[in-house]
């Protein structure tokens, strides 16, 4: 084995001055030192304690020649244009990855509600009559979405993004087979929960992948495409599911998911590459250690101060710690959770409202989810593009980017008000048996507002806490999915007690009371971020 002290300089190590163009310190202490060092460019890209990239300004910084460490064993990027660095990927490669991620976030939520029109047949087959069982059969999948991120987020830090995507896709297909073959209501529930766990992978770390590769001025559109999946999937699923169940039975819903999931798995294996910088450099260091025989070569982003077990423990508790100790994340997550829970509560009413009030058959009942999808498409196209335009204008004017630009009143107020307006229209027109097109219009308005709220909140939190991107997304997913799973359990009793008119009005008043939250952070967000700066 070669003597490490006399090993020749290796491509990608710190012995080359240009190779340190994007070398990033890893620990929180170094991060603070770099932020305060007047010799550093203010537009520095550094790495937080969880290894997730922090992007500021143009994402680049340089040290003068005499300041650069001369340790020949540090492995970093091969200069500013290193093609291995995901930030330097071509636009085609970046958008291909985002397209695949977006498809994945549509497919995995399909399992949550695609079989909803067939719930009466499932209950009859397994001799169940409880309305609570029927609701829980739908919502237990979302519980998987709630608990999955607590494991997925820390694992992505240690093993990278791509490995988890591929493992999640394969497990999702396997668990879908189990659901298709279920011979009891308990077995079906168990596999639906496992499908939710596996399906939570792209929803949890997709935003981290986007932050790895996209500059801030293009991130809004990328986030829009990715964020649409968890909402659009449950909307388009029942449309196909209603007719499929009527023609071939509810089990074929899961066989179709297996087929689609299998195709997506193959496409992902061929196209999705690793984007997490610490993992890429660690693999590069391992390759160079093998090629050169120098055991002392190590990644510039490696943190050897803690063990893998300790790192996993810290990363595992980070989402809940952020959720409970950072007011911005707490209140914004609450806003998203309530609106998401209301959406799933509405979903539980569609099957019986349009069947009983408007005499829709089993196949047509699936189309009642279409207005929600239309509203979300309008919201994602409008709010995603407009958000990037605002950031682009500030950048073109030479102004520093502020995360609060993502939540201006001109976006958040109309989006927030659309929620109660849509609920009022839906509830009272159904209550009075007005033509079915009118309550569907209410659902379109509600869904458009929901997408506007989701886009503003997710982009804001990603910009405000970029070094905790995966953990913040996990915190959002946990609270959002818990609300989506649990709120419908008591929702039907609420409708029985209040009726559809006053029941949806109550939900509308709750949504109306949440509208000031983004306004609060638009005005005081910067001050609160400085006061409650997470150190987890």
Report the alpha-carbon distance of residue 422 to residue 426 in Å, rounded.
6
Which DSSP string do the residues of 118-182 spell out, in sequence order?
GHHHHHHHTT---HHHHHHHHHHHHHHHHHHHHHHHHHHHHH-HHHHHHHHHHHHHHHHHHHHT-
Structure confidence at residue 54 (pLDDT): 36
Structure confidence at residue 397 (pLDDT): 77
Q: Is residue 295 classed as helix, strand or coil in its secondary structure?
A: coil
91-274+308-531 is classed in which CATH architecture? Up-down Bundle (1.20)
Report the alpha-carbon distance of residue 341 to residue 308 in Å, rounded.
36
Spell out where 360-429 has E strands.
none
Contact 176, 111 (CB under 8 A): yes
Report the alpha-carbon distance of residue 186 to residue 491 in Å, rounded.
23
Strand partners, 75: 13, 299
pLDDT tens sequence for the chain (536 residues): 434 444 444 444 443 333 333 333 333 333 333 334 333 333 333 333 343 433 333 333 334 334 444 577 787 888 788 888 888 888 899 999 988 998 888 888 887 778 777 787 888 888 887 777 877 887 888 888 888 888 888 788 778 889 999 999 999 999 999 999 999 898 999 999 999 999 989 988 888 888 888 887 777 778 777 776 666 676 777 777 777 887 888 898 899 999 999 999 999 999 999 988 888 888 888 888 888 888 877 777 766 666 667 777 777 788 888 888 888 999 999 999 999 889 888 877 887 788 888 888 766 776 787 888 888 888 877 776 777 777 777 777 777 778 888 888 888 899 999 999 999 999 999 999 899 999 999 999 999 999 888 888 888 888 888 777 777 888 888 888 888 778 877 777 788 888 889 999 999 999 999 999 999 999 888 888 888 776 65
Chain centroid, CA 148 distance in Å: 12
Query: What is the DSSP code (8-state) at residue 532?
Result: T
HEC sequence for 31-72: HHHHHHCCCCCCCCCEECCCCCEECCCCCCCCCCHHHCCCCC
Contact 485, 146 (CB under 8 A): yes
Contact 264, 14 (CB under 8 A): no
Structure confidence at residue 43 (pLDDT): 33
Q: How many helices (H) and strands (E) does the chain have?
A: 17, 4
Question: Domain spans of the chain?
Answer: 26-71, 91-274+308-531
Q: Is residue 296 classed as helix, strand or coil in its secondary structure?
A: coil
Contact 477, 405 (CB under 8 A): no
pTM over 0.75: no
Q: Which residue has the tokens 């985002």?
A: 98
Contact 474, 315 (CB under 8 A): no
């Amino acid at each position: 084995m070669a003597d490490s002290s006399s090993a020749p300089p290796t491509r990608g190590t710190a012995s080359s001055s240009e190779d340190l163009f994007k070398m990033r310190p890893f620990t929180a202490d170094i991060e603070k030192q770099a932020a305060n060092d007047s010799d550093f460019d203010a537009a520095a890209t550094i790495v937080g304690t969880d290894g997730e990239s922090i992007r500021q300004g143009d994402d680049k910084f340089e040290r003068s020649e005499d300041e650069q460490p001369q340790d020949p064993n540090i492995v970093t990027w091969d200069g500013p244009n290193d093609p291995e660095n995901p930030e330097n990927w071509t636009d085609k490669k970046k958008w291909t990855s985002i397209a695949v991620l977006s498809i994945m976030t549509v497919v995995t939520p399909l399992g949550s509600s695609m079989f909803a029109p067939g719930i009466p047949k499932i209950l009859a087959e397994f001799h169940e009559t409880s309305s609570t069982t029927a609701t829980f059969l739908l919502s237990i999948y979302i519980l998987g979405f709630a608990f999955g991120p607590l494991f997925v987020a820390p694992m992505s830090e240690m093993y990278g993004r791509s490995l988890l995507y591929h493992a999640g896709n394969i497990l999702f297909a396997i668990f879908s087979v189990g659901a298709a073959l279920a011979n009891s209501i308990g077995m079906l529930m168990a596999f639906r929960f496992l499908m939710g766990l596996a399906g939570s992978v792209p929803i949890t770390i997709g935003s981290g992948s986007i932050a790895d590769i996209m500059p801030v001025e293009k991130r809004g559109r990328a986030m829009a495409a990715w964020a649409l999946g968890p909402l659009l999937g449950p909307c388009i699923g029942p449309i196909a599911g209603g007719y499929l169940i009527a023609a071939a039975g509810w089990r074929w819903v899961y066989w179709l998911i297996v087929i689609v999931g299998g195709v997506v798995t193959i496409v992902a294996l061929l196209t999705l590459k690793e984007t997490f910088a610490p993992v890429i450099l660690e693999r590069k260091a391992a390759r160079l250690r093998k090629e050169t025989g120098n055991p002392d070569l190590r990644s510039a982003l490696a943190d050897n101060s803690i063990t893998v077990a300790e790192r996993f423990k810290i990363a595992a508790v980070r989402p809940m710690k952020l959720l409970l100790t950072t007011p911005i994340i707490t209140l914004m997550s609450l806003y998203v959770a309530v609106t998401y829970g209301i959406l799933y509560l509405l979903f539980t009413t569609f099957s019986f409202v349009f069947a009983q009030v408007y005499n829709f058959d089993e196949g047509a009942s699936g189309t009642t989810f279409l207005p929600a999808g239309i509203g979300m498409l309008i919201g994602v196209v409008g709010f995603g593009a407009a958000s990037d335009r605002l950031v682009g204008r500030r950048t073109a004017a030479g102004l520093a980017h502020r995360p609060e630009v993502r939540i201006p009143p001109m976006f958040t107020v109309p989006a927030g008000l659309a929620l109660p307006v849509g609920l009022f229209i839906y509830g009272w027109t159904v209550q009075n048996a007005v033509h079915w097109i009118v309550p569907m219009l209410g659902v379109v308005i509600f869904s458009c507002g929901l997408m506007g709220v989701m886009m503003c909140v997710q982009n804001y939190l990603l910009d405000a806490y970029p070094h905790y991107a995966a953990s913040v997304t996990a915190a959002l997913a946990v609270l959002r999915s818990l609300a989506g799973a649990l709120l419908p359990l008591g929702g039907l009793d609420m409708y029985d007690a209040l009726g559809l008119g006053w029941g949806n009005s109550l939900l509308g008043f709750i949504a109306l009371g949440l509208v000031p939250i983004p306004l609060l952070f638009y005005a005081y967000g910067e001050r609160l971020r400085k006061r409650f700066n997470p150190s987890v």
